[in-house]
Structure 1
Amino acid sequence: MHRLIVFLVAATTFLTLSTAAIAAGEPLRVLYLDQSVGWRHEPVVRPRKGGLALSEIAMIAIGQESRAFVAEVTQDGREITPQRLASVDVLVFYTTGALPISAEAWSAVQTRVAAGKLGFVGLHSATDTNWTYDGPGEPYDRFIGGQFAGHPWTQGTPIRIETLDPDFPAVSMWPVGFDYAEEIYQYSGFDPARVRVLQTLDFTGTPLKRPYAVPVTWARQIGKGRLFFTNLGHTPSTWDDPRFRRQVAEAIRWTGRRSSGSAKPDVSRQATWQFKALLAYEPVAGRDDAAILARLERASPAWREATAARIANLRPIYPTKPENDRVPFDTAYRAVLAEVLIRGQSR
C-alpha cells in the first residue's frame, strides 16, 4: 500500500510538472489593438474593400514566424473586457486618441499586469493615447510612461539611435549605435525614476538636435508584471525590417515572462544622456566633451538628478516656431549649460 501511495504521488507530481512544462512552452495569447480615435497611421489602415491592416497582417505573421505567440487583432477597444482578459497573456497597443475602454476594463488590465498575469506592449503611437480615468491604479499616460508632445523627427528623418542595454532581449537585435529613418516622439509626463530606458536618440549623430534627451524604447516593472514600449513602428518599411519584427516578438516574450531582463530604473544613466544631449546641441570645436562627461559622472547623485531635470524642462519651453519668443528658452538653456560646463571642466 505504501509503495502504491508513493507511486501515485510521484505520478501525480510528474503529470503536474509535465503539464506546467507544456504550458510554459505554448505560444502566448496576444490581443493586438490598433484602434485610432483621431490621427490614423498608415500601418493600421484597413483596405476599404475589407481585410486587415498592414500591421495586423504583420503581427499575425510575426507570431507564426517566431512561434512565440498567437495573435488576435481588433480595432475596437470595447472588446477589452475583464472576461476577455482572462484568455489574454499580452496586450499590444498601436493606438491613438481617447479609446473606448471602460473604467472596469482598465482597472482589470492594471490588476492583471500587477499580478503578473498580463504583459503590456506599446508600439509607436501608443503614447499618443489617453482617455479620462479616475479609477484605481493609474491613468493610461502614467501607466505607459509618457504622453506624446510632438514629433520634430517626422517620417523619414535621419536619426541615430543608441542601444543602452544590448543584452536586453527586446533590443538585442539592434546594434549598439545605428542610423535609421523614423518618426520619433518626444514626451511630457516622462518620469525617469519609473522606467529603464533601453534605447535613446544619440544627438552626436542625429542632424536635427534638441538640448534634452529623447528616449526611444523603455521597460517598466509593475508589481509582478512587465511593460515594454518602443517609439518605432510609424513607417511601413519598419514593419518589414527583420530587426523590428524580432523586437516585437521578443517584447511579447519578455512581457509574457518567457525571458529575463531587468527593468530597474536607470536614473543615473538617463542623467548622463541629458548631459550628452545638452553638449551635442551646440558642439564647440576643441571642447573635450568626453572629459566633461567623465567628470560629471563623479558629481553627487543629487546634483546629477536635479540638473538632469532642469535639462529635461527645456523641452516644454523650446521654441517650435520662428515666431515663438526665444527668451525663456535661451535664458534657461544658457544657465544650465554654464552650470554643466563649470562642473564638468573643474578639476
Structure 2
Amino acid sequence: MRRVLALLLVALAALTALPAVAKPDAPLRVLYLDQSVGWKHAPVARPEGGGLAPSETAIIAIGQQSGAFTAEVTQDAREITPERLETIDVLVFYTTGALPLSPEAWSVVQQRVAAGKLGFVGVHSATDTGWPYDGAGETYTQFINGHFAGHPWTQGTPIRIETLDPSLPLVGMWPVSLDYAEEIYQHSDFDPARVRVLQTLDFAGTPLKRPYAVPIAWARQIGQGRLFFTNLGHTPSTWDDPRFRRQIVEAVKWTAIRTRGRATPDPQRQFLWQLKALLAYEPVEGRDDKAIIGRLLKMDPAWQTATARRIADLRTVYPKKPDSDRAPFDAAYKAVLADVLARGGAK
C-alpha cells in the first residue's frame, strides 16, 4: 500500500511540474474599409440589389478559414470613431479619394498605431486616398508613404515581381521571381528612408519598362506599431489567388505584432533597384550592367542618395501621352544615365 501511495505521489508531482499548455491566441479583430470617394474598383463594388462586395466577402472568408481574424466591413469612414478604434486590432483600407474621416479619428489611428495597439494594412488603391489634415502627427499620404501617380500597367498587363525578403512571412508565400498580370500603381511622395520595400517590379522581365523603380509592397515601423502596403488587389482574380489571400492573413498578423519580421528601411537596396530599372530601360548588348552596379554600390552614400532621387524624379517628367513633349524627359534621362555609366566605369 505504501509503495502504491508513493507511486501516486510521484505521478501527481510529475503532472504538476508539467508546463501549462499555452492557450491559442484569440482571433484578431479587423475592420475593413472599402469606401470609394474616387474611382470604384470591381472588388469593392456592391451588387445593385444589395449584398457585399467581392473583396468584403473574401476578407470575411479569409479570416474565417485561417482562424487568424474576424472581419467587419464598412463603406463609410465615419464609422471609424475613437471609440470604435478601441475595439479593433487592425485597420485594412481598400479606398479611394478624400475619405470623410474626422481629424479626431485620424489622430487616434496614428496614436494607437504608434503605441503598438493597432495595425494598418493598405491594399492597392489605399494610396489613391487622402484628405486635408493639419492635426497632430502625419497626413495620410505621409503615413502610408506614397500617393497614386498613374498606372502605366493597367489591368491584365504582364509584369514580373521580385520578392526581396522571401524569408519573411509577409511575402514568403510568393516566389522570388514571379510573372503575373495586374494593375500596378507608381507613386509620388514616396520616401525610401521610411520604409522597407519587400517586393518590386523587375524590368528585366516586365515588357512595359520605366527607367525608375516601382515598389510593389513595403513595410513601415511607426513607433511600436507596424504598417504594410501592397500594390496588388486591383484585379478580381488576384483576390482568388491563394497566395494573395495568404498574404492578407500574414499582413494582419504582422501588423498586429503576432509574427516576426523586420521593417528596417533599406534605402541602399532600393538604390540598387533604381539602378537596375535605369539600365534595363534601354539595354545595350555587351554592357556589363552587373559590374557597373557593383561599383556604384561602393560609392559615397551621399552620391547614392542623390542619384536615387534623380532616377526616381524621372517619373515626374516621363511623357504622359504618346504625343507629349519628350524633350524634358530625354534630357533628364540622358544626364543621369551618363553620370551613372561614367562613375560605374562603363566602356
In the alignment, does 2:211 pair up with 1:211?
yes
Alignment deviations for residues 61-117 of structure 1 (CA, whole Å, 9 cap, x no partner)? 100111110000000000000000000000000000000100000000000000000
Shift of 1:123: 0.2
Distance 1:177 1:299 in 2: 28
In the alignment, does 2:47 pair up with 1:50?
no
1:332 maps to: 332
Q: Which structure would you say has the larger Rg?
A: 2
Unaligned 5+ segments in structure 1 are 1-16
Question: Contact 2:35/2:74 (CA < 8 Å) preserved in 1?
Answer: yes
1:8 maps to: none
Shift of 1:215: 0.4
Report matched runs for 1:309-324 at 5 Å. 309-324=309-324
2:7 maps to: none
Shift of 1:325: 1.5
Report matched runs for 1:174-185 at 5 Å. 174-185=174-185
**Residue 182 of structure 1: SS of its match in structure 2?**
strand
1:4 maps to: none
1:245 maps to: 245
In the alignment, does 2:80 pair up with 1:80?
yes
**Residue 319 of structure 1: SS of its match in structure 2?**
coil
Letter of the 2:330 counterpart:
D
Distance 1:178 1:38 in 2: 31
Alignment deviations for residues 244-265 of structure 1 (CA, whole Å, 9 cap, x no partner)? 0000000000001000100010
Distance 2:332 2:126 in 1: 31
Distance 1:98 1:222 in 2: 23
Shift of 1:225: 0.3
Report matched runs for 1:79-98 at 5 Å. 79-98=79-98
Distance 2:120 2:166 in 1: 21
**Residue 180 of structure 2: SS of its match in structure 1?**
strand
**Residue 183 of structure 2: SS of its match in structure 1?**
coil
**Residue 73 of structure 1: SS of its match in structure 2?**
strand
Letter of the 1:255 counterpart:
T
Distance 1:75 1:272 in 2: 39
Question: Contact 2:36/2:96 (CA < 8 Å) preserved in 1?
Answer: yes
Distance 2:35 2:132 in 1: 17
2:186 maps to: 186
Unaligned 5+ segments in structure 2 are 1-18
Question: Contact 2:288/2:346 (CA < 8 Å) preserved in 1?
Answer: no
Report the identity percentage: 73
Distance 2:346 2:234 in 1: 43
**Residue 207 of structure 1: SS of its match in structure 2?**
coil
Letter of the 1:94 counterpart:
Y
Distance 1:321 1:237 in 2: 29
1:110 maps to: 110
Shift of 1:322: 2.2
Distance 1:87 1:78 in 2: 15
Report matched runs for 1:20-169 at 5 Å. 22=23, 25-169=25-169
Letter of the 1:92 counterpart:
V
Alignment deviations for residues 110-161 of structure 1 (CA, whole Å, 9 cap, x no partner)? 0000000000000000000001111000010110010000000000000000
Letter of the 1:311 counterpart:
I
| Backbone CA RMSD of aligned residues | 1.5
Distance 1:124 1:312 in 2: 20
State the number of aligned residues: 330
Distance 1:206 1:123 in 2: 22
Shift of 1:346: 5.9
Distance 1:185 1:308 in 2: 19
2:11 maps to: none
In the alignment, does 2:261 pair up with 1:267?
no
Distance 2:287 2:66 in 1: 47
In the alignment, does 2:299 pair up with 1:283?
no
**Residue 121 of structure 1: SS of its match in structure 2?**
strand
Letter of the 2:90 counterpart:
V
2:226 maps to: 226
**Residue 84 of structure 2: SS of its match in structure 1?**
helix
Distance 1:26 1:322 in 2: 54
Letter of the 2:300 counterpart:
S
